[in-house]
Amino acid sequence: MAETTQGTGGLKYDSSKRSWPNEFNIFIALVIIVAIFELLGQVLPYMNGQSFLFDTNDRFDSIFNEARLQIIILQVAIIGIISLGVTQVIISGGIDLSSGPLVAATAMIVMSFAQTELVNGNPNPKAVFGPWAFDLPVLVPIIVGLAFGAFIGAINGSLIAFTRIPPFIATLGMFLICRGIAQWWTRGQPVSFPTESYAALGAGMMPVVWFVLLAILCHVLLRYTVYGKHTYAIGSNEDAARMSGINVKRHKVMVYMIASMLAAFAAIVLSSKNLTAQSGMGLFYELYAIAMAVIGGVSLTGGRGSIIGTVLGAMVFGVIQSGFTYVKLDAYFQIMAMGAIIIGAVVLDKWRQQRSSMRI
């Protein structure tokens, strides 16, 4: 044998050497933010001691203010579905700016395949197509929507993989194209009056159900499948991935397709929930989805992040938004504050990276 100065010891799994999971930090941040709002409610004179989290007026069976919690998760669920896809794109080293307008375009198209013939006994005033498109089975709009999402995602991915233009530019172009499609589809007219079965897709707490189901699915995809491993590998070191025999181009197309299909599904849920589709919907959704991912610890340089993190990021996002309303912060300031939080999250990520690279 060779001189065994190196030894073979120390190969066991050593839990003490395992680093603190990043998701835990985000969870702690979530708790701290809730505590801050709770404190503000007690301290600010105009709040009259209202509680943020707890049911002080005894309106519900549990000790929590269920109405507020419901609003929070319902608010983040739909953008949350988008951010599940955006998370995968960012982990693969890309970015997707087209998801907001894609939601609008998909909603417009999908809704025109989901209309009923008669509204209160009168013909549907917002009909887009002729009689053939009325009262179609609910699967038709769903398939049309997912196919449109897959198509847009395939274009995004192919542009990025084969022409090698930066993802920022490719998806920014698609951002405008999709907004254009949304406005052109009905010349700016909203599309309304869906069938009952379509309206059921986003009714009540259904958006949350979809969000949870899709989050579990995406978590399994990223953590336990070859697809997920290669997504991390490409975002971490694209050259290494290529040299290891991964078909990087094909994989990127796949990642963007999955992301756009998730955004398209969010459009279905949103239009079903609102019972209408408008060309202006999904405003800022792409940025909010990116923000949720970044707050959840997904690194904008690729290779790092998780679905659990993004779900927690979405919760943080929802709590902050709801908290701003709770402390009666002006709506204009809310948008500004949201911007500041996104910048702050990226700065934090930068620091984390510098710290971990100094450990080498």
Residues in contact with another protein by CB under 8 A are: 1-11, 13-14, 17-19, 221, 224-227, 229, 232-233, 235-237, 239-241, 243-246, 251, 254, 303-304, 356-357, 359-360
- The amino acid that residue 226 corresponds to is V
Q: Report the residue number, 117 or 250, with the smaller CB distance to another protein.
A: 250
8-state DSSP, 201: G
CB of 168 to another protein, least distance (A): 21
Residues 150 and 161: beta-carbon distance below 8 Å: no
Give the separation between CA 293 and CA 299, rounded to whole angstroms.
8
Q: Report the residue number, 42 or 247, with the smaller CB distance to another protein.
A: 247
CB of 98 to another protein, least distance (A): 23
Residues 99 and 82: beta-carbon distance below 8 Å: yes
Q: Report the residue number, 14 or 61, with the smaller CB distance to another protein.
A: 14
- Straight-line distance from the first to the last Cα atom of the chain, in angstroms, rounded to the nearest whole number: 30
CB of 77 to another protein, least distance (A): 24
The crossing angle, in degrees rounded to 10, of helices 285-295 and 66-91 is: 90
Chain centre to alpha carbon of residue 248:
24
Q: Report the residue number, 226 or 343, with the smaller CB distance to another protein.
A: 226
CB of 227 to another protein, least distance (A): 5
Torsion of CA 107, 168, 331, 45, to 10 degrees: 130
- The amino acid that residue 352 corresponds to is R
CB of 35 to another protein, least distance (A): 32
Question: Which structure tokens are listed for 16?
Answer: 């003490």
Q: Report the residue number, 11 or 139, with the smaller CB distance to another protein.
A: 11
Q: Report the residue number, 44 or 216, with the smaller CB distance to another protein.
A: 216
CB of 108 to another protein, least distance (A): 31
